[in-house]
Amino acid sequence: QKISDVAVLLASDFPESVTTGAVLELFLQQQLRKMAGIFACHLLLLQAWMLAFTSCNAIIFDYKEMFVESRIDHFNPRMINPNTFQQRLLYNDTYFKEDHGPILVYTGNEGAIDQFWNNTGFVFELAESLGGYVLFIEHRYYGKSLPFGDEWQQDYNYQYLTVEQAIADYAIILTGLKERLGNPQRKVIAFGGSYGGMLTAFMRFKYPNIIDGGLAASAPIFPMGKYDFYKAVTEDCASYNAQCPVQVRSGYTEIMRLAENGSEGFAQISKMFSLCKPLDAGNFQHFLLWARNAFTIMAMADYPYPASFLGKLPAYPINVACDTILKADDAMAGLAEATVTFYDETMGKAACHDPAKEYIDCADATGCGLMSQWDIQICLQVRLPSGTNNVTDMFPPIEPWTDTMYQDYCARKYGPLLSYQTDFYKINFWGDRINAASNIIFSNGDLDPWRYGGVRNIIPGAPFVYPITIPGGAHHLDLRGSDPRDPLAVTAARALEKKIIQSWLL
């Protein structure tokens, strides 16, 4: 059905005088009897378009930094040496209303917390209107929050790098902050994107007594099919121009054909991609991963304006890459130009490129950056298999790792005593049976390659779990500050998210 027709339907069903809270209630009671699944979520989003506000300036605050003492092991009464570490917090109380203001907490994910502070402007916009106290908590073992200091990788000291330990940190810090701010019953709303969004959801599952609601943006809490991620990347390219995946496939077909010719073919590929060292049979697979990684990052950061969150990229980098590929004389030349341009922009322009340095192979096929901490988390708990098959996606066939491959890699790199927690999500964090959950918004952009692991449909029996699909939205775009270049849909999504959060604070 056309969007305009749906808007007319909504306008007739819900007069202008109806409040958003009433719209949500009526929607859940009446519209779900007519329309189901993600289409229903789109209707809810379209209704928000009538109520959306537009802010032309993102609010960016300076932060104050403090450190708190956190236990290294929350679940074993036996003392270890050392028993605690200094955990970094960033906060701002510019708009805080002590009598009623909520705590707005970002559940830090894999990286130094200041990078998330600088890319989560929506929280600051909410702080202004809600009188909120803004708190960003750094995830243990990242940034400046290092148990065991520089020795965190020695003697299995990384065994405490788990989701359970991380969210226990957050729960204890928040409990103490409520006391310090003079109200143990103060409302807390959690926010997180990607893995941080998963932590927000897990916080609400595990500690509903600590947080009153959460916005889990681009949070792949559901298992993904082993080819889903790169299927989504391919769909993103096709949504801009249907010929783009066709040309990318053709480019890779030529690369694979040349590789079959041995050293002569490898030399041609090396020259085309401006590689510092010639390819051979031993490093060809890593080259393919390096080239694929360019599309991984561009798809996640496919924002409507230039951004530097995942590397310095132009507005809609997927569109830019597709234009480059489609304008080239041949498919392989276009693919090479798009790939080299990506690395020039994100790593710094260079006379040549070294895939061994620019892409670190690790247990996460979508990349670990330069962080061995995330590699360890994949080995321990957060397994995210991602392969390509050249059928549902445009990349050469690269099978995802098997359990045996994970075990061999993790034991070889981090020691034989490291073991993966089988059924981690299913047992500890509910798996796909989240119908008992409440007060969680799950937002997913339809350009985000992680969307297939997100909560995208209404959960039967969970009327207060709100899945929102954002047309034109990349990886947790709704958490970023408002910008006049935002798609209307993300402006509408933020307005709807704000209304839902306000209802939790009543």
The answer to whether 444 and 467 have CB atoms below 8 angstroms apart is: yes
Q: Exposure of 24 by Cβ count < 10 A (0-12 exposed, 13-18 middle, 19+ buried)?
A: buried
Pairing, β 440-445 against β 465-470: parallel
CA angle 77, 78, 84 (to 5 degrees): 85
CA–CA gap between residue 404 and residue 423 (Å, rounded)? 16
Q: 344: which residues sit within 8 A by CB, 6+ positions away?
A: 350
Catalytic residue among 42, 139, 353, 475: 475
CA–CA gap between residue 390 and residue 429 (Å, rounded)? 33
Burial 226-264 (b: 16+ CB within 10 A, else e): bbbbbbbbbbbbeebbeebbbbbbbbbebbbebbeeeee
What DSSP line would sit under 77-128, residue for residue?
-S--SS-EEEEEEEEE-TT--TTTPPEEEEE--SS-HHHHHTT-HHHHHHHH
CA–CA gap between residue 434 and residue 216 (Å, rounded)? 14
CA atoms within 13 A on the CB side of 109: 23
362: left (phi over 0), alpha (psi -120 to 50) or beta: beta
Catalytic: 100? Answer: no
131: left (phi over 0), alpha (psi -120 to 50) or beta: left
Which residues partner with 445 through β-bridges?
Answer: 470
The answer to whether 99 and 505 have CB atoms below 8 angstroms apart is: no
Q: With helix as H, strand as E and coil as C, how does 403-418 read?
A: HHHHHHHHHHHHCCCC
Catalytic: 403? Answer: no
The answer to whether 209 and 188 have CB atoms below 8 angstroms apart is: no
Catalytic residue among 236, 364, 448, 483: 448
Catalytic residue among 139, 145, 169, 194: 194
Catalytic: 448? Answer: yes
Residues involved in catalysis = 194, 448, 475
